Copies of this chain bind each other. A is one copy, B any other.
Protein backbone atom coordinates (compact mmCIF):
# COMPACT_ATOMS: atom_id res chain seq x y z
CA UNK A 1 0.00 0.00 0.00
CA UNK A 2 2.65 2.55 0.98
CA UNK A 3 4.79 1.27 -1.86
CA UNK A 4 1.85 1.80 -4.16
CA UNK A 5 1.34 5.35 -2.96
CA UNK A 6 5.04 6.00 -3.27
CA UNK A 7 5.24 4.55 -6.71
CA UNK A 8 2.12 6.09 -8.18
CA UNK A 9 1.77 8.96 -5.73
CA UNK A 10 1.27 11.70 -8.24
CA UNK A 11 -1.29 9.69 -10.15
CA UNK A 12 -3.04 8.95 -6.88
CA UNK A 13 -3.01 12.66 -6.18
CA UNK A 14 -4.68 13.37 -9.53
CA UNK A 15 -7.41 10.86 -8.85
CA UNK A 16 -7.91 12.25 -5.35
CA UNK A 17 -8.19 15.79 -6.70
CA UNK A 18 -10.76 14.74 -9.27
CA UNK A 19 -12.71 12.85 -6.61
CA UNK A 20 -12.66 15.81 -4.25
CA UNK A 21 -13.90 18.25 -6.88
CA UNK A 22 -16.56 15.78 -8.01
CA UNK A 23 -17.91 15.59 -4.50
CA UNK A 24 -17.77 19.36 -4.06
CA UNK A 25 -19.51 20.00 -7.35
CA UNK A 26 -21.24 16.93 -8.73
CA UNK A 27 -23.40 18.79 -11.26
CA UNK A 28 -20.80 21.10 -12.73
CA UNK A 29 -17.44 19.44 -12.25
CA UNK A 30 -18.12 15.76 -12.01
CA UNK A 31 -19.85 15.34 -15.35
CA UNK A 32 -18.56 13.42 -18.32
CA UNK A 33 -18.83 16.48 -20.50
CA UNK A 34 -16.77 18.62 -18.13
CA UNK A 35 -14.10 15.97 -17.80
CA UNK A 36 -13.95 15.66 -21.57
CA UNK A 37 -13.73 19.41 -21.82
CA UNK A 38 -10.77 19.44 -19.46
CA UNK A 39 -8.88 17.27 -21.93
CA UNK A 40 -9.38 20.02 -24.48
CA UNK A 41 -8.37 22.74 -22.06
CA UNK A 42 -5.17 20.95 -21.21
CA UNK A 43 -4.19 20.18 -24.79
CA UNK A 44 -2.06 23.21 -25.59
CA UNK A 45 -0.21 23.13 -22.31
CA UNK A 46 0.29 19.38 -22.57
CA UNK A 47 1.73 19.55 -26.08
CA UNK A 48 4.22 22.24 -25.07
CA UNK A 49 5.05 20.11 -22.03
CA UNK A 50 5.60 17.05 -24.19
CA UNK A 51 8.12 19.06 -26.21
CA UNK A 52 9.78 20.02 -22.95
CA UNK A 53 9.80 16.34 -21.97
CA UNK A 54 11.79 15.43 -25.06
CA UNK A 55 14.37 18.11 -24.35
CA UNK A 56 14.56 17.07 -20.72
CA UNK A 57 15.13 13.50 -21.82
CA UNK A 58 18.54 14.68 -23.07
CA UNK A 59 18.99 16.51 -19.79
CA UNK A 60 18.50 20.01 -21.17
CA UNK A 61 16.06 22.90 -20.90
CA UNK A 62 14.41 24.79 -23.72
CA UNK A 63 13.49 28.26 -22.54
CA UNK A 64 12.75 29.48 -26.05
CA UNK A 65 9.47 27.59 -25.92
CA UNK A 66 7.30 30.58 -25.03
CA UNK A 67 8.78 32.65 -27.85
CA UNK A 68 8.33 29.85 -30.34
CA UNK A 69 4.65 29.48 -29.41
CA UNK A 70 4.14 33.20 -30.02
CA UNK A 71 6.16 33.01 -33.21
CA UNK A 72 4.08 30.09 -34.49
CA UNK A 73 0.88 32.08 -34.14
CA UNK A 74 2.20 35.34 -35.58
CA UNK A 75 4.10 33.82 -38.46
CA UNK A 76 1.13 31.76 -39.61
CA UNK A 77 -1.21 34.77 -39.66
CA UNK A 78 1.53 36.82 -41.30
CA UNK A 79 1.70 34.24 -44.09
CA UNK A 80 -2.10 34.12 -44.40
CA UNK A 81 -2.14 37.86 -44.83
CA UNK A 82 0.38 37.46 -47.65
CA UNK A 83 -2.06 35.01 -49.24
CA UNK A 84 -0.03 31.87 -48.69
CA UNK A 85 -2.36 28.83 -48.71
CA UNK A 86 -2.91 27.31 -45.27
CA UNK A 87 -1.14 23.96 -45.72
CA UNK A 88 1.93 25.63 -47.14
CA UNK A 89 1.89 28.25 -44.40
CA UNK A 90 1.72 25.55 -41.72
CA UNK A 91 4.66 23.73 -43.23
CA UNK A 92 6.66 26.93 -43.41
CA UNK A 93 5.95 27.69 -39.76
CA UNK A 94 7.00 24.23 -38.62
CA UNK A 95 10.11 24.33 -40.78
CA UNK A 96 11.15 27.71 -39.40
CA UNK A 97 10.65 26.44 -35.86
CA UNK A 98 12.69 23.38 -36.73
CA UNK A 99 15.54 25.62 -37.81
CA UNK A 100 15.41 27.50 -34.50
CA UNK A 101 15.48 24.21 -32.61
CA UNK A 102 18.36 22.93 -34.69
CA UNK A 103 20.38 26.06 -33.99
CA UNK A 104 19.81 25.78 -30.23
CA UNK A 105 20.57 22.07 -30.21
CA UNK A 106 23.71 22.53 -32.25
CA UNK A 107 25.10 25.27 -30.03
CA UNK A 108 24.29 23.30 -26.89
CA UNK A 109 25.78 20.02 -28.03
CA UNK A 110 28.64 21.08 -30.27
CA UNK A 111 30.01 23.91 -28.15
CA UNK A 112 28.77 22.58 -24.85
CA UNK A 113 27.15 25.87 -23.94
CA UNK A 114 24.56 25.51 -21.19
CA UNK A 115 21.11 25.06 -22.71
CA UNK A 116 19.62 27.49 -20.24
CA UNK A 117 21.52 30.49 -21.57
CA UNK A 118 21.52 29.30 -25.19
CA UNK A 119 17.77 28.93 -25.43
CA UNK A 120 17.19 32.13 -23.49
CA UNK A 121 19.28 33.97 -26.10
CA UNK A 122 17.69 32.16 -29.03
CA UNK A 123 14.26 32.84 -27.50
CA UNK A 124 15.07 36.55 -27.27
CA UNK A 125 16.02 36.58 -30.94
CA UNK A 126 12.84 34.73 -31.90
CA UNK A 127 10.87 37.24 -29.81
CA UNK A 128 12.45 40.05 -31.80
CA UNK A 129 11.59 38.40 -35.09
CA UNK A 130 8.02 37.88 -33.92
CA UNK A 131 7.67 41.53 -32.98
CA UNK A 132 9.09 42.53 -36.29
CA UNK A 133 6.66 40.30 -38.23
CA UNK A 134 3.69 41.65 -36.28
CA UNK A 135 4.87 45.18 -35.66
CA UNK A 136 4.21 44.34 -32.04
CA UNK A 137 0.48 44.12 -32.62
CA UNK A 138 -2.04 41.35 -32.24
CA UNK A 139 -2.88 40.04 -35.69
CA UNK A 140 -6.47 39.38 -36.62
CA UNK A 141 -8.35 38.65 -39.80
CA UNK A 142 -7.49 36.66 -42.95
CA UNK A 143 -7.37 33.40 -40.97
CA UNK A 144 -8.91 30.71 -43.21
CA UNK A 145 -11.88 28.85 -41.73
CA UNK A 146 -10.24 25.56 -42.58
CA UNK A 147 -7.30 26.51 -40.42
CA UNK A 148 -9.56 27.54 -37.58
CA UNK A 149 -11.26 24.15 -37.75
CA UNK A 150 -7.99 22.53 -36.74
CA UNK A 151 -8.80 23.54 -33.19
CA UNK A 152 -12.52 23.98 -32.85
CA UNK A 153 -15.57 21.82 -32.88
CA UNK A 154 -15.99 18.20 -32.02
CA UNK A 155 -16.04 14.84 -33.65
CA UNK A 156 -17.97 11.93 -32.08
CA UNK A 157 -18.57 14.22 -29.13
CA UNK A 158 -14.85 14.61 -28.50
CA UNK A 159 -13.24 18.02 -29.04
CA UNK A 160 -10.86 18.15 -32.01
CA UNK A 161 -8.14 19.55 -29.75
CA UNK A 162 -8.32 16.40 -27.66
CA UNK A 163 -7.47 14.37 -30.73
CA UNK A 164 -4.37 16.48 -31.22
CA UNK A 165 -3.35 15.75 -27.68
CA UNK A 166 -3.89 12.02 -28.09
CA UNK A 167 -1.99 11.96 -31.36
CA UNK A 168 1.00 13.93 -30.16
CA UNK A 169 1.17 12.04 -26.87
CA UNK A 170 1.13 8.64 -28.56
CA UNK A 171 3.75 9.71 -31.06
CA UNK A 172 6.02 11.12 -28.39
CA UNK A 173 5.55 8.09 -26.20
CA UNK A 174 6.46 5.76 -29.05
CA UNK A 175 9.49 7.83 -29.92
CA UNK A 176 10.80 8.07 -26.39
CA UNK A 177 9.89 4.63 -25.12
CA UNK A 178 9.55 2.27 -28.03
CA UNK A 179 12.12 3.09 -30.64
CA UNK A 180 15.85 3.37 -30.64
CA UNK A 181 16.22 7.11 -30.74
CA UNK A 182 14.39 7.39 -27.43
CA UNK A 183 16.95 5.17 -25.76
CA UNK A 184 19.70 7.35 -27.16
CA UNK A 185 18.09 10.53 -25.92
CA UNK A 186 17.61 9.12 -22.44
CA UNK A 187 21.17 7.78 -22.41
CA UNK A 188 22.49 11.25 -23.16
CA UNK A 189 20.28 12.75 -20.48
CA UNK A 190 21.11 10.07 -17.92
CA UNK A 191 24.87 10.18 -18.32
CA UNK A 192 26.18 12.15 -21.21
CA UNK A 193 29.74 10.99 -20.71
CA UNK A 194 28.69 7.35 -20.63
CA UNK A 195 26.67 7.82 -23.79
CA UNK A 196 29.63 9.42 -25.48
CA UNK A 197 31.93 6.59 -24.37
CA UNK A 198 29.42 4.15 -25.80
CA UNK A 199 29.50 5.89 -29.15
CA UNK A 200 26.15 7.69 -29.08
CA UNK A 201 26.30 10.75 -31.32
CA UNK A 202 25.70 13.62 -28.98
CA UNK A 203 25.34 16.48 -31.44
CA UNK A 204 22.82 15.02 -33.85
CA UNK A 205 20.69 13.43 -31.16
CA UNK A 206 20.59 16.57 -29.07
CA UNK A 207 19.58 18.53 -32.14
CA UNK A 208 16.72 16.13 -32.75
CA UNK A 209 15.41 16.78 -29.24
CA UNK A 210 15.50 20.55 -29.61
CA UNK A 211 13.91 20.37 -33.04
CA UNK A 212 11.07 18.29 -31.62
CA UNK A 213 10.53 20.77 -28.82
CA UNK A 214 10.49 23.76 -31.17
CA UNK A 215 8.21 22.12 -33.73
CA UNK A 216 5.70 21.15 -31.04
CA UNK A 217 5.80 24.68 -29.61
CA UNK A 218 5.13 26.15 -33.06
CA UNK A 219 2.28 23.68 -33.54
CA UNK A 220 0.78 24.92 -30.28
CA UNK A 221 1.17 28.49 -31.49
CA UNK A 222 -0.86 27.63 -34.56
CA UNK A 223 -3.49 25.66 -32.65
CA UNK A 224 -3.85 28.56 -30.21
CA UNK A 225 -4.39 30.94 -33.11
CA UNK A 226 -6.88 28.56 -34.68
CA UNK A 227 -8.68 28.30 -31.37
CA UNK A 228 -8.97 32.00 -30.54
CA UNK A 229 -8.94 33.44 -34.04
CA UNK A 230 -6.07 35.86 -33.56
CA UNK A 231 -2.36 35.85 -32.74
CA UNK A 232 -0.52 37.95 -30.22
CA UNK A 233 3.26 38.43 -30.18
CA UNK A 234 3.28 37.53 -26.48
CA UNK A 235 0.60 34.86 -26.65
CA UNK A 236 2.96 32.07 -25.64
CA UNK A 237 4.27 33.79 -22.54
CA UNK A 238 2.11 31.85 -20.14
CA UNK A 239 3.21 28.41 -21.28
CA UNK A 240 6.83 28.18 -20.24
CA UNK A 241 6.66 27.75 -16.50
CA UNK A 242 3.45 25.73 -16.49
CA UNK A 243 4.83 23.36 -19.09
CA UNK A 244 7.92 22.71 -17.03
CA UNK A 245 5.76 22.38 -13.93
CA UNK A 246 3.87 19.62 -15.73
CA UNK A 247 7.08 17.86 -16.70
CA UNK A 248 8.53 18.07 -13.21
CA UNK A 249 5.30 16.91 -11.63
CA UNK A 250 5.44 14.01 -14.06
CA UNK A 251 9.04 13.20 -13.20
CA UNK A 252 7.95 12.36 -9.72
CA UNK A 253 4.94 10.49 -11.07
CA UNK A 254 6.30 7.31 -12.57
CA UNK A 255 9.96 6.91 -13.24
CA UNK A 256 12.05 8.59 -10.65
CA UNK A 257 13.98 11.45 -12.05
CA UNK A 258 13.32 10.82 -15.71
CA UNK A 259 11.05 13.08 -17.73
CA UNK A 260 8.46 10.83 -19.36
CA UNK A 261 5.37 11.28 -21.49
CA UNK A 262 2.77 9.53 -19.28
CA UNK A 263 4.06 11.47 -16.28
CA UNK A 264 3.91 14.76 -18.14
CA UNK A 265 0.29 14.03 -19.07
CA UNK A 266 -0.54 13.45 -15.41
CA UNK A 267 1.25 16.67 -14.53
CA UNK A 268 -0.60 18.69 -17.16
CA UNK A 269 -3.87 17.08 -16.09
CA UNK A 270 -3.32 18.10 -12.47
CA UNK A 271 -2.73 21.70 -13.50
CA UNK A 272 -5.76 21.73 -15.80
CA UNK A 273 -8.10 20.00 -13.35
CA UNK A 274 -7.18 22.29 -10.49
CA UNK A 275 -7.75 25.38 -12.64
CA UNK A 276 -11.06 24.07 -13.92
CA UNK A 277 -12.33 22.88 -10.54
CA UNK A 278 -11.42 26.00 -8.62
CA UNK A 279 -13.00 28.28 -11.22
CA UNK A 280 -16.17 26.21 -11.18
CA UNK A 281 -16.28 26.44 -7.40
CA UNK A 282 -15.94 30.21 -7.76
CA UNK A 283 -12.75 30.45 -5.72
CA UNK A 284 -11.17 33.89 -6.00
CA UNK A 285 -7.99 34.35 -8.00
CA UNK A 286 -5.61 34.75 -5.13
CA UNK A 287 -7.07 31.76 -3.32
CA UNK A 288 -6.77 29.77 -6.54
CA UNK A 289 -3.06 30.52 -6.57
CA UNK A 290 -2.57 29.54 -2.99
CA UNK A 291 -4.56 26.34 -3.35
CA UNK A 292 -2.87 25.43 -6.64
CA UNK A 293 0.54 25.83 -5.07
CA UNK A 294 -0.43 23.72 -2.09
CA UNK A 295 -1.92 21.00 -4.27
CA UNK A 296 1.24 20.79 -6.37
CA UNK A 297 3.36 20.54 -3.25
CA UNK A 298 1.08 17.86 -1.86
CA UNK A 299 1.20 15.94 -5.12
CA UNK A 300 4.97 15.76 -5.12
CA UNK A 301 5.26 15.20 -1.40
CA UNK A 302 2.84 12.28 -1.32
CA UNK A 303 5.47 10.43 -3.33
CA UNK A 304 8.02 11.22 -0.71
CA UNK A 305 6.35 10.40 2.52
CA UNK A 306 7.71 7.18 3.80
CA UNK A 307 10.78 7.55 1.61
CA UNK A 308 13.79 7.14 3.80
CA UNK A 309 14.78 10.26 5.64
CA UNK A 310 18.25 11.57 5.67
Contact = CB atoms under 8 A, between A and B. Distances in A.
Contacts of A111: 301, 304, 307
Interface residues of A, number: 52
A64 B296 CA distance: 14
A245 B117 contact: yes
Q: Please provide the 8 A-B residue pairs with the shortest distance between their CB atoms, ordered closest to farther.
A: A128-B289, A125-B293, A128-B290, A124-B293, A117-B248, A131-B286, A121-B296, A132-B286
A286 to B, nearest CB: 4
Given A120-B245, A131-B286, A113 B294 contact: no
Given A110-B309, A301-B111, A129 B290 contact: yes
Interface string A85-126: 000000000000000000000010011111011101111111
A249 B117 contact: yes
Nearest to A241: B120
A286 B114 contact: no
Interface string A293-310: 110110011001001011
A21 interface: no
A137 to B, nearest CB: 12
Which of A111, A286, A288, A292 is most buried by chain B, counting CB atoms within 10 A of its CB?
A: A286
Given A121-B296, A285-B131, A113 B307 contact: no
Contacts of A183: none
Contact of A285 (B136, B307, B310): B136
Interface of A: 63, 107, 110-114, 116-118, 120-132, 136, 196, 202-203, 241, 244-245, 248-249, 251-252, 285-294, 296-297, 300-301, 304, 307, 309-310
A113 B286 CA distance: 25
B244 A289 contact: no
Given A120-B241, A244-B120, A307-B111, A131 B296 contact: no
Nearest to A295: B121
Question: How often does this chain occur in the complex, in copies?
Answer: 2
Contact of A292 (B110, B124, B130, B309): B124
A47 B307 CA distance: 36
A114 B248 contact: yes
Contacts of A287: 128, 132
A114 B294 contact: no
A188 to B, nearest CB: 12
25 contacts: A111-B304, A111-B307, A112-B307, A114-B248, A114-B252, A116-B248, A117-B245, A117-B249, A117-B296, A117-B300, A120-B248, A120-B296, A121-B293, A121-B294, A121-B296, A122-B293, A124-B289, A124-B290, A124-B293, A125-B294, A128-B286, A128-B290, A128-B292, A132-B286, A202-B310
A286 B245 contact: no
A62 to B, nearest CB: 13
Contacts of A131: 285-286, 289
